[in-house]
Structure 1
Amino acid sequence: MIDLDETDRRILRQLQRTGRLSNAELSEAVALSPSACHRRVARLEQAGIIGGYVALLDRAALGRRATVFVEITLAGQTVEALDSFEAAVMRIPEVLECHLTAGGADYLLKIVVEDSEDFARLHRQHLSRLPGVSQMQSSFALKRVRETTELPL
Structure 2
Amino acid sequence: MPVNLKSKKRLASRIVGVGVNRIRLDNDHLDDVADAITRDDIRSLITANTITIKSFTGTSHGRAQAKRIQKAKRGTKQGSKKGRKGARVGKKTVYVNKVRALRYLLKISKDRKEITNESFKSIYKKIGGNTIRNKAHLRTVIAEEITAQKS
After TM superposition, the score normalised by the length of structure 1 is 0.21
After TM superposition, the score normalised by the length of structure 2 is 0.21
Q: Which has the higher contact order (CA 8 A, sep 6+)?
A: 1
| Higher share in helix | 2
